[in-house]
């Protein structure tokens, strides 16, 4: 039950700031609250601008010289440690995020994958060579390439929704490329970032390669983005903050992975049981808090009724509640404020003509999986990103209309398509304005190695995924030698 008075959780953790391997405490702290119980599960230091400068300067002063083998070994060791400690790590993340143990065991597996892929990529020779005698004015020379770490520091700013995996996607490729990072995790879930950092140190990471600063972004974010030693800002989070970072970053590289409003498009030839199973997974896993969660269901009108019936049935069976109860698929959303926002958006849609089929109940930060149909694309619940377990159904008649509705928001992250019609699949792949089109999968499907990221308001088109992140974290130098 939600507590009204804040009590400390039995496994309360007062985490330090991590700068250059020193574990520092701070006069001011931020409380980390369990969204389910309302208990205080820990505190983290509230860094000031001076702490941020020290973190960046410590990182900048250090020049990593780890061999490829050493980098791969560290990353592999952490993957193994994390797998061994899956229960401890997922307990910690669950306490600060309210996500279910089920979701978090899966997340730990993903983090281990990120680490393993980064280890393998570190071992891969990324140089190229080009003969120069290819044309009539060629020469007997050869051009070679090599990837070098950035001279400046990488600042990584991460969101709350995948508390450890978002951090891993920035830190592991940075280590694999011999870079130095200052990480600022979400103030809502900072303990899992601290935990991963401690594991990396335990596995032998030179400590100045990773600093973790926590605090109030209003106070420290600008310094993180504009300090003269920062060369690249990699940010995952909401559109408004991403755009404000872009405006401030100036002559620095930026990688922005922003919000999404992804459709699952179900056509009349689809196997409806299979489509409905994907729909609930896409909509409710991780409490619907994935940038690539299914946030709109575009369903061909001729099969809308039987699809909706199946969706409602599966939604009612989607168990939710205590995140530690093994029977629950879903825990809470990130906080009560978020749950109130989802409810108000669904309520607004209902007053505008949508029909509530199940859910839309709230207790504290618990929000029931919710299905509404008769949704119009102009309603806020689907026009904006609704970052929770809500399934709004929009009916369409023609494929042209489905593509138009799908492309009709500011976002362009990913999509899922349920059809076997090859001619139509081709059209969706070509015409959807998104970074990813998954046929017969949820929009969130990916492997941690493959390119991932959005266009339009979802991102600038630069991708993440271990391989792409490593590219953006390096400078490509060419040199040529006088032999062919
Ligand atoms: P958020 O934008 O509120 O916060 C993200 C991070 O930005 C946090 O660490 C926060 O402290 C920091 N921040 C806050 N103010 C800042 C400022 N002025 N300058 C710099 N940093 C600042 O996002 P959130 O609520 O934590 O996460 C949810 C959002 O993230 C959703 O929109 C979701 O779609 C998006 N997301 C995108 C991807 C992707 O890969 N495209 C992945 C996961 C989440």
Task: Write the DSSP string, 423-480.
Answer: HHHHHHHHH--SS--EETS-TT---TTS-B--EETTBSS--BSHHHHHHHTEEEEEEE
pLDDT value at residue 7: 83
Residue 418: active-site member: no
> Model confidence over 9-58: pLDDT tens digits?
888 989 999 999 899 888 899 999 999 999 999 999 999 999 999 999 99
Out of 76, 107, 257, 441, the active site residue is 257
Q: Residue 3: is its pLDDT beyond 50? A: no
Residue in 394, 344, 393, 339 with CA at minimum distance from that of residue 368: 339
Say which DSSP state 123 is in.
H
Atom in ligand 1 nearest the alpha carbon of residue 413: 41
- Give the CATH class of 8-258+459-477: alpha beta
The strand ranges marked E within 291-401 are: 294-300, 355-358, 362-363, 366-367, 370-373, 390-396
Going across the sheet that includes 355-358, the strands are 355-358, 370-373, 390-396, 294-300, 262-266, 416-418, 438-439
Paired strand residues for 131: 142
CA distance 5 to 111: 34
Strands 181-184 and 153-157: parallel
**pLDDT at residue 2 above 60?**
no
Q: Is pTM beyond 0.90 here? A: yes
Give the residue, out of 237, 287, 334, 451, with the most ligand 1 atoms within 8 A of its beta carbon, to mutate for a pocket test: 237
Confidence of residue 108 (pLDDT cuts 50, 70, 90): very high
Number of helices and strands in the chain (H, E): 15, 24
CB contact at 8 A, 300 and 396? yes
Alpha helices in 258-335 (DSSP H): 272-284, 301-316
Say how far apart CA 119 and CA 169 lie, in whole Å: 13
CATH 3.40.309.10 residue ranges in the chain?
262-439
Q: Is 237 in the pocket of ligand 1 (CB under 6 A)?
A: yes
Is the minimum distance from the CB of 451 to ligand 1 under 6 angstroms? no
Task: Please name the residues in contact with 354: beta carbons below 8 A apart, sequence gap of 6 or more.
Answer: 346, 372, 373, 374, 375, 376, 379, 381, 392
* Tens-place pLDDT, residues 56-77: 999 999 999 999 999 999 999 9
Do the Cβ atoms of 293 and 262 come closer than 8 Å? Answer: yes
The Cα 108–Cα 19 span in angstroms is 25
Q: Cα–Cα distance between 301 and 359 in angstroms, integer?
A: 23
158 CA distance to ligand 1 middle (Å)? 6
Q: Which CATH number fits domain 262-439: 1.10.3720.10, 3.40.50.300, 3.40.640.10, 3.40.309.10?
A: 3.40.309.10
Distance 187 CA to ligand 1 centre (A): 10
| 4 pLDDT higher than 90 | no
Is 158 a known ligand-binding residue? yes
484: exposed, middle or buried (Cβ count in 10 Å: 0-12, 13-18, 19+): exposed
* 257 has catalytic annotation: yes
- pLDDT at 295 > cutoff 60: yes
pLDDT, position 1: 43
pLDDT band at 5 (very low <50, low <70, confident <90, very high): low
387-423 per-residue burial string, b: 16 or more CB within 10 A, e: under 16: bbbbbbbbbbeebeebbebbbbbebbbbbbbbbeeee
DSSP 124-184: S----EEES-SSTT--S-EEEEEEEE-SSEEEEE--SSSTTHHHHHHHHHHHHTT--EEEE
Share of the chain above pLDDT 70, in %: 99
pLDDT in tens, 334-374: 999 999 999 999 999 999 999 999 999 999 999 999 999 99
Q: If you average pLDDT over every residue of the chain, what do you get?
A: 97
Q: Tell me the C-alpha distance between 303 and 451, whole Å.
A: 34
Q: What Å distances lie between residue 418 and 263, 295, 305, 402, 441, CA to CA?
A: 11, 15, 16, 12, 8
Å from CA of 424 to ligand 1 middle? 35
pLDDT-wise least confident of 7-16, 40-49, 157-166, 317-326: 7-16
Kindly report, as residue ranges, where domains of CATH 3.40.605.10 are found in the chain. 8-258+459-477
Two structure tokens written together for 175: 């280590």
Q: What is the atom index within ligand 1 of the atom nearest the CA of 162? A: 43
Q: Does 386 contact ligand 1 (Cβ within 6 A)?
A: no
Q: Give Cα 47 distance to the centre of its chain.
A: 24
Q: How far is the CA of 454 from the centre of ligand 1 (A)?
A: 15
The reported pLDDT for the residue numbered 77 is: 98
Q: Per-residue confidence at 187, pLDDT binned at 50, 70, 90?
A: very high
| Interior/surface letters 80-91, b for 16+ CB within 10 angstroms, e for the rest | ebbeeebeebbe
- Please give the backbone phi and psi of residue 263, each rounded to the nearest 5 degrees, phi first: -90, 150
- pLDDT of 8 reads 87
Six-digit token string for 42: 């820990």
Nearest alpha-carbon partner for 385 in 239, 284, 257, 264: 239
């Amino acid at each position: 039950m939600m507590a009204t008075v804040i009590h400390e959780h039995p496994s309360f953790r007062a985490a330090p700031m991590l700068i250059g391997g020193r574990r520092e405490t701070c006069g001011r702290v931020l409380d980390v609250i369990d969204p389910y119980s309302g208990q205080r599960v820990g505190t983290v230091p509230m860094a000031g601008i001076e702490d941020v400068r020290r973190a960046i300067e410590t990182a900048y002063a250090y020049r990593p010289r780890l061999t490829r083998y050493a980098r791969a070994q560290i990353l592999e060791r952490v993957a193994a440690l994390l797998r061994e400690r899956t229960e401890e790590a997922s307990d910690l993340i669950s306490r600060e995020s309210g996500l279910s143990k089920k979701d978090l065991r899966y997340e730990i597996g993903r983090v281990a994958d990120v680490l393993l892929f980064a280890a393998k990529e570190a071992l891969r020779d990324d140089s190229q060579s080009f003969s120069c005698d290819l044309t009539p004015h060629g020469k007997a020379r050869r051009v070679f390439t090599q990837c070098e770490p950035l001279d400046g520091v990488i600042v990584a700013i991460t969101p709350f929704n995948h508390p450890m995996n978002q951090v891993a996607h920035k830190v592991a490729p940075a280590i694999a490329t011999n870079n130095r990072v200052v990480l600022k995790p979400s103030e809502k879930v900072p303990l899992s970032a601290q935990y991963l950092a401690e594991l990396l140190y335990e596995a032998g990471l030179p400590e100045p390669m990773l600093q973790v600063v926590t605090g109030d972004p209003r106070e420290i974010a600008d310094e993180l983005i504009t300090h003269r030693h920062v060369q690249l800002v990699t940010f995952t989070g909401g559109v408004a903050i991403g755009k404000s970072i872009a405006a401030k970053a100036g002559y620095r590289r930026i990688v922005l992975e922003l919000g999404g409003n992804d459709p699952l498009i179900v056509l009349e030839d689809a196997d409806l049981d299979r489509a409905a199973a994907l729909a609930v997974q896409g909509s409710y896993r991780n409490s619907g808090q994935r940038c690539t969660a299914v946030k709109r269901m575009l369903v061909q009108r001729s099969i809308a009724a039987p699809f909706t019936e199946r969706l409602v049935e599966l939604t009612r069976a989607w168990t939710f509640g205590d995140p530690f109860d093994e029977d629950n698929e879903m825990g809470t959303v990130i906080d009560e404020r978020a749950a109130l926002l989802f409810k108000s958006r669904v309520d607004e849609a209902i007053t505008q003509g949508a029909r509530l089929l199940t859910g839309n109940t709230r207790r504290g930060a618990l929000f029931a999986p919710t299905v509404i149909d008769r949704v119009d694309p102009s309603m806020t619940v689907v026009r904006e990103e609704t970052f929770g377990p809500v399934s709004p159904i929009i009916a369409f008649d023609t494929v042209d209309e489905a593509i138009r509705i799908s492309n009709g928001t500011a976002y362009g992250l990913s999509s899922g398509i349920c059809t076997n019609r090859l001619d139509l699949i081709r059209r969706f792949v070509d015409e959807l304005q998104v970074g990813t089109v998954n046929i017969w999968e949820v929009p969130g499907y990916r492997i941690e190695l493959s390119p991932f990221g959005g266009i339009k308001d979802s991102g600038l088109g630069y991708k993440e995924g271990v391989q792409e992140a490593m590219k953006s974290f390096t400078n490509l130098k060419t040199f040529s030698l006088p032999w062919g």
